[in-house]
Structure formats: structure tokens, C-alpha cells
Structure 1
Amino acid sequence: MRPMLASRGTVVPTGPGWMHEVKWDGMRVLAEVRDGVLRLWSRNENDVTASFPELHDLGGLGHDVLLDGEVVAMAGGVPTFGALADRMHVGNVQRARVLAEANPVTLIVFDLLELDGRDLTSEPLSVRRKTLESLGLSGPRWQVPGTYDDGPALVRATVEQGLEGVVSKKLDSRYLPGRRSPDWLKFPNRPSQSYVVGGWRYETDSTSRVGALLVGEPGPEGLLYRGRVGSGIAGRRGQQLKELLGPLCADAPPFCDEVPRVDAVGTVWVRPGLVVELASLGLTRGGRLRQPSYLGVRTDLSPDDLGK
């Protein structure tokens, strides 16, 4: 099953038919507990259980459940994707345990889809939420955060606290797996977004290290070129990117529009298979990223996910 997705909103809704939650800057997961064993599934349905050993004790909940939530890691007291990036792709059990000691994650749970064999997806959110809260789901590395009636006030609070944003949800909304619904609206504060890598360039005076990525955004006609990013790519990060991009090498650019010669010369083209998270100051009038910086690889997303 894929999680239900929120649409981008323009005005935070008000009124008794809505509830509002903090938008968490992490990795969306479905957490499944069956017969005392936890399994974690990413948004693109990959099993990521091994990456987060500190969450495995959730299997002792005492119920069979399917939970929707977000795995987050902290930086400066605030959930930040950059702090999570080095945890997401780790499949080695021993390495994951070492990282969990140094940089533990927390599972933020905000929806309940199944309980002891009962499918709750057709129930309104108000019922699912009440049932979730009745489970007393509070542990050392997992929690059910509060919800709020005043959406605009929550937006102001998240801005002041440096949080990612707000999600507003209709209380009567049913859970629609894999679908993006206007019944859930997202209002991000932070200017970060996911992009598809279409090529890479060597670091200056190097023939082995990645120095910059050429990225694009899926559009109706194909992958639209959004620019080149080099900030944040150095050392181990560049080495990891080289390993991930090596098998994707291609003979021609994957972009449907023209890449400026200054960016194209010396670029190694790749098939559009890797998604990365970038921070930026938005787009220029010409559709290029302003002052982009690399935050990490989105192993939980595929290029097809960005077009939905």
C-alpha cells in the first residue's frame, strides 16, 4: 500500500470541519505490526525496516496495526531532512545500529489504517484519529503528536519554531491509498523540494569526485531542466553520489528542454532514476533554481512520484 498524499494549498482552511497538524521534515513510512514484528515501508513501497533498528520495539505494542507516519531526525532541536539523509539508505544491520546510537530517529504517527484485522481506511479521519489516540502509543522513539483547531495560528507557530509547515485535513476524509487528495492540504514553510538528477560533473581538478549535479523537475512534456547544484556536495556525499549514479550513465541528456552549453560541457549524463532533496530560494524567471544546495538522496521517492 502507498500512503495518501496531500495537495499543495493556497489558503489555510478554517472552520470546525478541519484539523491541522505540524508538517514534519522527514521520511514518510507505513509501519506495519503483525504478530509482534514491525516492518517499515517507504512511500515507494520499499522495505526499510533494517534502516531504523531503534523503532523495532514498536512490535511490542500488543496489537496488529498499520500506521501512517513520518520518520524524523533532529538537528539543533528541530526535525530536519538533512539529519535523516545518512540514515535512509543504510541496509547493513550492524551499520544501522551504530548510526542509531549516534543519530536516533523518532517515528511521528498521525493515522491508523488497520487495527487487529479491521480495515479503517473507509472510516472518517475523526474516527481513525480517535482510535489511534486510544492506543496510548507513546514510547522512547515514537509518538502521536497533537492536532490543532486554529490552522493560521499553527502556521505562525511553525514559522517561529523553524518547523517545516502545516498539513490541514478534513475531519470527514476517508483514507485514499496512493492518491493525492484536496481533503488534505499542505502548507510548507521551508523552501526545499525534490528533484530528479539528469547528469553530474566532476569536481574541479578531479576525475573521481562528483562536484555538481544537473537536476530537473517532471512536467507534462518530460523532465524540465532546473539547473546545476554544487553546494553541499563534498567528501563522502560526493562519493556516495558517484556510486549511485554510475549504473545510470547515458549517452544523451534526459531533459526535454535545452541545457545551456556552460552546464552541458563536461557533464556525464544519466538516466532519470535518482531523486535528491534541494534547498533553494525558489526559481528565477527563466525557471532555474536560485542558490540551490544539496541536502541528500531521497531513497524513499522515485521520479514517477514527483509527477503525481
Structure 2
Amino acid sequence: MRPMLATRGSRVPADDAWMHEVKWDGMRVVVEAGRGKVRLWSRNENDVTVTFPELHALADLDHEVLLDGEVVAFLDGVPKFGALADRMHVSQAARARALAERNPVTLLAFDLLRLDGEDLMGLPLTERRARLEGLGLADVHWQVPAAYDDGLMLMAATEQQGLEGIVSKKRSSRYHPGRRSADWLKFPHRASGSYVVGGWRRETDSRTRIGAVLVGEPAGGGLRYRGRVGSGIAGKAGQRLLDVLAPYETDVSPFVDEVPKVDALGTTWLVPEVVVEVAALGFTPAGRLRQPAFLGVRTDLTPEEVVPHA
């Protein structure tokens, strides 16, 4: 099941019809757990149960639940997508266990969709939250994050603390799987987003090391070019990225608009299947990412799920 998605908002709601939550910088998951079983799915419905062994103990819950939440990893006490990047793509149980020891994750469960066989998605958010909070989900590896009445206060506090932003949700909202709804509004602090990789270039003076990727957004059956991303791609991160990209090499550019010669020169083109997370200081007048930095591969997203920026 695909989770319900938020729409980008323009102004934080200030009336009592809304509640507000921290926007976590992690990987969205749907979790089925309790009474001896546990399964986790990514946002695009891939089974990622093996990937996060520290969450397997959710099988010991006394209730059968279907949860919506975010898996996060902390860097200097703050959830950072970059800290999670090494964990997301792992499918080998032994390696996942080793990584869990060194870089553990936490599940932040913010919605309850089913409880002991009862479908709760048609109930208002306030009722779903009340039942979720009544489950006592408090452990070193999972918890229920707080919801707040004052969205403007939370927006200011999350910016001060270096968090990603907030999500404002109508208290009356029902849960609509796979739908992007205006009943949930997201307000990120930083200019980052997901982009599709259309090509890669070698590092200067190297025949093997990756130096940059060319990224874009879905448009007209291909990609609209958004720029070249080189910062953040080095060492082991670069090699892992190259391993992910290698199966998609092709002779044809996937971009529907013209890629500048300075960027296209020496590029290995790719079938547009890999999504990456990129931080940037907005866009140039030409629509290119300004000072972009690679954060990690989004194994939880497909190219079709990438929403173009205005």
C-alpha cells in the first residue's frame, strides 16, 4: 500500500482545524506488525523488512497494527537523510545487521491505519492519533512523535533546531492511500528535493571514479535538465552510486531539452530510473540548481513519483 502524501503549502495554517508535526528527514515506510509478524514497505511498495533488523522486534507487539511513519537516522542528534543513505539500499541480512549496530535507525510512527483487523483509514485523524498514542509505542527504536497546536511556533522551533520542516494536517482528515492531499501540507525549511539521474561524468584525471551526475525532472516523456551535481560524490559514496547507475547506461540522452556542451562533454547517458536526493540553494535564472550537493540515492522513490519544482 502506498502512503498518503502531503502537498507543498504556502502558509502555515493558524486555525484550530489543524494539527502540526515535525517533518522528518528520512525514509517513509508502511509497517505491518504485531503478534509474531513484521513487514515493512517503502513508499513505492518495495519490501524493506530485511533492511532494518532493529525494527523486527515490533513483531512482539500485543496488537496487530498497520502503521505509517518515517525511518530516520541521526547525525549529531538531528535526523539527516545523508545518515540514512547507507542503510536504505541494503538487501543482505548479514550486512543489514552489521550496519544496524554501527548506525541504528528509529521508526517515528505518526499514523495508525489498522488495529486488530479494524480499518481506521475512514476515521478522522484525531481518532487515529488517539488510538496510536494509546498503544504505548515507546522504545529505543520506535516511538510516536508529538503533534502540536501551534504551527508557527513549531515552524520557528524546527528551523532553529536544524530540522527539515513541518507538516500541517487537518484534524478531520481521512487517510487516502497513494493520494497527494491538500488536507496535509508540508513546509520544508531547506531547498532540497528529489531528482532523476540522466547521466554521469568521470572525475577529472580518472578513468573509473565518478565525479558528477546530471539530473532532471520528469517532462514530456523524458527529463528536463536541472544541472550537474558533483559536491558530495567522493570516495565510497561515489563508488556505491556508480554501482547503482551502471545497469542503466545507454547511448541516448534522456533529457528533452538541450544539455550545455560543458556538461554533456564526456557524459555517460543513463536510462532515467535512479532517483537521488539533492540539497541546493534554489535555482539560477536559467532553471539550474544553485550549488547542488548530492545527499543519497532514493531507493524509496520511482521517477514517476518525482514532483517537478515550479
Q: TM-score, normalised by structure 1?
A: 0.98
Corresponding position: 1:109 with 2:114: no
Match of 1:48 in 2: 48
User: C-alpha separation between the residues in 2 aligned to 1:88 and 1:38?
Assistant: 18
User: C-alpha separation between the residues in 2 aligned to 1:34 and 1:239?
Assistant: 38
Corresponding position: 1:90 with 2:90: yes
Structure 1 letter corresponding to 2:184: W
Say which is worse superposed, 188-197 or 66-75, in terms of deviation: 188-197
Deviation at 1:220, TM superposition (A): 5.5
- 5+ residue gaps, structure 1, are none
Say which is worse superposed, 216-225 or 231-240, in terms of deviation: 216-225
* Equivalent position SS for 1:281: coil
Corresponding position: 1:81 with 2:81: yes
Structure 1 letter corresponding to 2:299: T
User: Contact 2:168–2:185 at 8 Å: present in 1 too?
Assistant: yes
User: Contact 2:34–2:61 at 8 Å: present in 1 too?
Assistant: no
User: Contact 1:66–1:113 at 8 Å: present in 2 too?
Assistant: yes
Match of 1:179 in 2: 179
Corresponding position: 1:153 with 2:131: no
Structure 2 letter corresponding to 1:239: Q
Corresponding position: 1:126 with 2:134: no
1:182-224 C-alpha deviation (Å, 9 max, x unpaired): 0000000122211000000011111111111000012356411
User: C-alpha separation between the residues in 2 aligned to 1:180 and 1:132?
Assistant: 22
* Equivalent position SS for 1:50: coil
User: C-alpha separation between the residues in 1 aligned to 2:153 and 2:209?
Assistant: 46
Share of identical aligned residues, percent? 66
* Equivalent position SS for 1:237: helix
* Equivalent position SS for 2:215: strand
Match of 1:22 in 2: 22
Match of 1:71 in 2: 71
Corresponding position: 1:33 with 2:30: no
Counterparts of 1:142-221 in structure 2 under 5 Å?
142-219=142-219
Deviation at 1:33, TM superposition (A): 1.2
User: Contact 2:216–2:226 at 8 Å: present in 1 too?
Assistant: yes
User: C-alpha separation between the residues in 2 aligned to 1:151 and 1:253?
Assistant: 44
User: Contact 2:34–2:58 at 8 Å: present in 1 too?
Assistant: no
User: C-alpha separation between the residues in 1 aligned to 2:57 and 2:112?
Assistant: 18
Deviation at 1:113, TM superposition (A): 0.3
Say which is worse superposed, 73-82 or 213-222, in terms of deviation: 213-222
User: C-alpha separation between the residues in 2 aligned to 1:155 and 1:307?
Assistant: 23
User: Contact 1:200–1:214 at 8 Å: present in 2 too?
Assistant: yes
Runs ≥4 in structure 1, deviation > 6 angstroms?
A: none
User: C-alpha separation between the residues in 2 aligned to 1:106 and 1:307?
Assistant: 27
Say which is worse superposed, 220-229 or 36-45, in terms of deviation: 220-229
Deviation at 1:161, TM superposition (A): 0.5
Match of 2:268 in 1: 268
Corresponding position: 1:251 with 2:279: no
1:59-94 C-alpha deviation (Å, 9 max, x unpaired): 111111100000000001100000000000011111
What's the Cα RMSD here?
A: 1.1
Deviation at 1:307, TM superposition (A): 3.7
User: C-alpha separation between the residues in 2 aligned to 1:243 and 1:24?
Assistant: 28
* Equivalent position SS for 1:38: strand
1:95-152 C-alpha deviation (Å, 9 max, x unpaired): 1111111111000000000001111111110111111111111112100011100000
Structure 2 letter corresponding to 1:138: A
User: C-alpha separation between the residues in 2 aligned to 1:169 and 1:9?
Assistant: 11
Q: 1:62 to 1:34 in 2, by over 3 A?
A: closer
Q: TM-score, normalised by structure 2?
A: 0.97
User: C-alpha separation between the residues in 1 aligned to 2:283 and 2:64?
Assistant: 45
Structure 2 letter corresponding to 1:182: A
Match of 2:234 in 1: 234
Number of positions where the alignment pairs a residue of Structure 1 with one of Structure 2 = 308
User: C-alpha separation between the residues in 1 aligned to 2:289 and 2:54?
Assistant: 37
User: C-alpha separation between the residues in 1 aligned to 2:49 and 2:114?
Assistant: 19
User: C-alpha separation between the residues in 2 aligned to 1:227 and 1:66?
Assistant: 40
* Equivalent position SS for 1:68: strand
Deviation at 1:34, TM superposition (A): 5.1
* Equivalent position SS for 1:49: coil
